Every structure is written in C-alpha cells, then in structure tokens.
C-alpha cells in the first residue's frame, strides 16, 4: 500500500567568515543556541588563525584560511571579517551559490541590497535575490529601530536626536583586552598602554567612533542617520546622532529623543512597546528600574525605559535604549535573518 513519508527539515552548509573575532565567535554560539539547522559548519579566518579551532555542539572544528574556494558548497555565509574582506569575498561567495549575510558597512547603502532588522523589515529579505547579499545594519541602528518602528507606525516619527554610549566590544576583541589591561595597570599604579584608540578608554569617554567626515559628523553617526531611513523605509525621518565610546565591555546605551507628527503619550508608547517583538520595557524609576548594559549583556532583547514626555516641544518623547551590541547588534540579528531565509526562501 502507501509508504510512510517523513518530511525531513532541510539542513544547511554554513560558513562563518571571521569566525575567530568578537562577532564571529558569537555567531557560532548563536547558531548553536538557536538550534539553527546546520548540516556542516565552516569557520573561516586569516592565516593568523591557522591551527585554531572553534567549538560547536561540543566539537572542535578547525578554522580554515579564507580563499576564493572557501564558499564552494556553502548555502549561507555569515560575514564579520571587516568591510574590505566583505567587498572582496562577498560577491565570490554569492557567485558560488551562497546567500551572504554581511555584518560590515560595505553593502549597507547599496540600493539593490536589502538592509534588514527582522522585527522591522523582514519583507526586504526577499531582495536577497538581486545580488545574493543581505546587509546587517550597524549595532547602534539595530537597537534603535526595533524600538522606533512601532512608534512610527502609530504616530509617524518626524525627527530623531540620539546620543550613544558604546561599549568597547564594538571595536573588537583587542579593545576588550585593552580596557581590561588599562584598568589593571591604573589600579596597580602602572602606565596604561594605549594602542587601539587614540586616547585611554579606561575611566574616560570620547565622542569619536569611526572616522570624521567633512560634514563634522563621524562615519558611525552617519551610519545611524542613513541606515535608519533605509530600514524604516521612510526617507523623510530626520535623524541627528552623536556617538561616544564609554568604558563598558558589552552593551550599547542610547538616549533617544523623538518628535512625532501625531501626539502620543508615554503611556501609549509603553503599551505599544510592551507588545513589540524583541523589545522589553524596563521602566519603573520609582523602584530604580531602567535599562543598563549589565542587564542587557548576554541576552537578545532590546531594553527600553525612562519613557517620558519631552516638555520642550509639542509632540516629543524621550527614551533610553540598551542592547547587547555583539548579540542583537550583530550576531543574533544576522542569525535571525538566516533563520527567515532558511524557513521561507531557500
């Protein structure tokens, strides 16, 4: 008679380019934690990583040195090895048949490449077909737009003014080590060594992330301006950003002021955000409850609090937004994109 057919869920050959870095290490961990349907995992890095391995599901997988042939047989390639590597190897991976999810800024503003935050514009993932590449936004943009989107849908945001307080892990593993070394040196009366940043980061703050541009903003600030408009699909939103580096290891914080077209109260914003995917409202100042990097680090929700009316304008709201920059700001967002690709498109 009839045989019994069991539908096997498809599994994917996945490459992680930059697998030994701060973001790449977290990508491998996210694939495991989220039980992504990985058939084989290919960790890729530079010659410096020859002999190293990554741990995935209890197995030690040797890191391979990335070259033109690294993407043969790969279905999904998660890139976090810097913009130059993405520009060179992203198209090679796509030509080999992989769909690339790229964490760098290399392709973010290309009109035919989707720039995706799954809670905001998952529909844009379909545009991967244009060039086989999907861009993952900047960490500071990601955590801001997951909160802004429901407010924009309800009251139309006209203007955003944001100041960031960004953790050193955003600069990579060497900056995490530098902050720890500087703190240790200073507390033991030694001279702190400065190599990653222009100034000492321990017990300091500087308003300088990425390079300065001719318009007086930094590139990091302009990423927030331009990426926000593209992800939200609305070029009319005006955005001004100041981005600062603070001596925190993990978790970016943001003070965000918005002006809306329609009046919206803090209570309405709180109710909207309580339902928003990927967002957790932590807003009980009377009990000293507000988002902090120490609470955001190591988990995937974007925390929002200090929600209040801006009394200086007619329709203004102030918010304080914190997320783990390496997880939701980079690795988790990329793996979430890959999950949608795997479930709906491949």
Sheet with 12-17: list strands edge to edge. Answer: 64-65, 38-45, 12-17, 76-79, 99-102, 133-135
Touching ligand 3JN, residues 59-78 (CB under 6 A): none
Partner that binds at residue 193, options ligand NAP, ligand 3JN, none, CB closer than 5 to 8 Å by kind:
none
Output the 3-class SS for 6-71. Answer: CCCCCCEEEEEECCCCHHHHHHHHHHHHCCCCEEEEEEEECHHHCCCEEEECCEEEECEECCCCCC
| Count of chain residues binding ligand 3JN (CB under 6 A) | 11
Shortest Å distance, C-beta 117 to ligand NAP: 11
Q: Name which of 48 and 184 has its Cβ closer to ligand NAP.
A: 48
User: Which residues lie below 8 Å from residue 189, measured CB to CB, with a gap of 6+?
Assistant: none
Footprint of ligand NAP (CB under 6 A): 18-24, 45-46, 48-49, 66, 80-83, 85, 103-104, 136, 138-139, 170, 172-173, 329-330
- Find the shortest distance in angstroms from Cβ 252 to ligand NAP: 9
DSSP state of 250: S
Q: What are phi and psi of 275, to 5 degrees?
A: -100, -5
Options 13, 30, 139, 152, the catalytic residue: 139
Residue 166 lies near ligand 3JN (rule: CB under 6 A): yes
**Strand, coil or helix: 241:** strand
For residue 21 the two structure tokens come to 């870095």
Residue 223's binding partner among ligand NAP, ligand 3JN, none (Cβ under 5 to 8 angstroms by kind) is: ligand 3JN
In this structure, the strands spanning 76-79 and 99-102 are parallel
CB of 105 to ligand NAP, least distance (A): 6
145 binds ligand 3JN (CB under 6 A): no
Instruction: Tell me how far, at minimum, the Cβ of 103 lies from ligand 3JN, in Å.
Output: 6
Between CA 140 and CA 47 the distance in angstroms is 31
Q: 201 or 209, CB closer to ligand 3JN?
A: 209
CB-based contact 93:77 (threshold 8 Å): yes
Residue 105 sits in the site that holds ligand 3JN (CB under 6 A):
yes
Q: Please, which residues bridge with residue 284 across strands?
A: 289
For the record, the structure tokens of 225 come out as 């301006």
- Rounded to whole angstroms, how far apart are CA atoms 156 and 259? 9
Which residue in the set 104, 228, 260, 332 belongs to the binding site for ligand 3JN (CB under 6 A)? 104
| Nearest residue to the partner ligand 3JN, using Cβ | 170
The CA distance from 2 to 68, in Å, is 47
Among 170, 291, 293, 316, binds ligand 3JN (CB under 6 A): 170
CA angle 179, 248, 63 (to 5 degrees): 65
* Site for ligand 3JN contains 138 (CB under 6 A): yes
Q: How far is the CB of 49 from ligand NAP (least distance, A)?
A: 3
Which of the listed partners (ligand NAP, ligand 3JN, none) does 166 bind, with a CB threshold of 5 to 8 Å by partner kind? ligand 3JN
Three-state DSSP at 244 gives: strand
In the complex, least distance from residue 121 CB atom to ligand 3JN, rounded to whole angstroms: 18
Select from ligand 3JN, ligand NAP, none the partner in contact with residue 121, using the beta carbon and a kind-dependent cut-off of 5 to 8 Å.
Answer: none
Tokens 């709201």 found at: 317
Cβ proximity to ligand 3JN: between 139 and 145 the closer is: 139
Question: Phi then psi for 35, rounded to 5 degrees?
Answer: 55, 45
Mark whether 252 is an active-site residue.
yes
Tokens of 239: 């955005």
| Distance between start and end Cα atoms, the chain | 33
Residues that bind ligand 3JN in the complex, under the rule CB under 6 A: 83, 104-105, 138-139, 166, 170-171, 209, 223, 325
Residues marked active site are found at 139, 252
């Amino acid at each position: 008679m009839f045989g019994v057919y069991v539908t096997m869920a498809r599994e994917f050959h996945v490459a992680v380019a930059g697998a030994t870095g701060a973001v790449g290490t977290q990508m491998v961990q996210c694939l495991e934690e989220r039980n992504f349907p990985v058939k084989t995992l290919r960790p890729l890095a530079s010659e410096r990583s020859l002999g190293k391995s990554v741990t995935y599901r209890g197995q030690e997988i040797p890191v391979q040195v990335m070259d033109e042939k690294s993407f043969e047989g790969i279905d999904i390639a998660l890139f976090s090895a810097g913009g130059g590597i993405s520009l060179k190897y992203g198209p090679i991976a796509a030509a080999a048949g992989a769909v690339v999810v790229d964490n760098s800024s290399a392709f973010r503003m290309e009109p035919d490449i989707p720039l995706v935050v799954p809670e905001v514009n998952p529909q844009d993932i379909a545009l991967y077909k244009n060039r086989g590449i999907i861009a993952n936004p900047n960490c500071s943009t990601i955590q801001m737009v997951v909160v802004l989107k429901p407010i924009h849908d309800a009251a139309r945001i006209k203007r955003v003014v944001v100041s960031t307080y960004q953790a050193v892990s955003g600069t990579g593993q060497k900056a995490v080590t530098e902050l720890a070394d500087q703190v240790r040196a200073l507390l033991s009366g030694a001279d702190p060594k400065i190599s990653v940043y222009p100034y000492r980061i321990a017990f300091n703050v500087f308003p300088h992330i990425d390079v300065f541009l001719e318009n007086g903003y930094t590139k990091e600030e302009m990423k927030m301006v331009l990426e926000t408009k593209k992800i939200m699909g609305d070029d009319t939103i005006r955005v001004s950003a100041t981005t600062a580096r603070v001596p925190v290891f993990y978790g970016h914080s943001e003070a965000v002021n918005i002006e809306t077209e329609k009046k919206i109260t803090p209570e309405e914003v709180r109710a909207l955000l309580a339902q928003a995917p990927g967002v957790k409202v932590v807003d009980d100042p009377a009990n000293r409850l507000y988002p902090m990097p120490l609470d955001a680090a190591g988990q995937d929700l974007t925390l929002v609090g200090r929600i209040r009316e801006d009394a200086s304008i007619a329709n203004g709201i102030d918010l304080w937004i914190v997320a783990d920059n390496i997880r939701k700001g980079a690795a988790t967002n990329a793996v979430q994109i890959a999950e949608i690709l795997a479930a709906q498109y491949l």
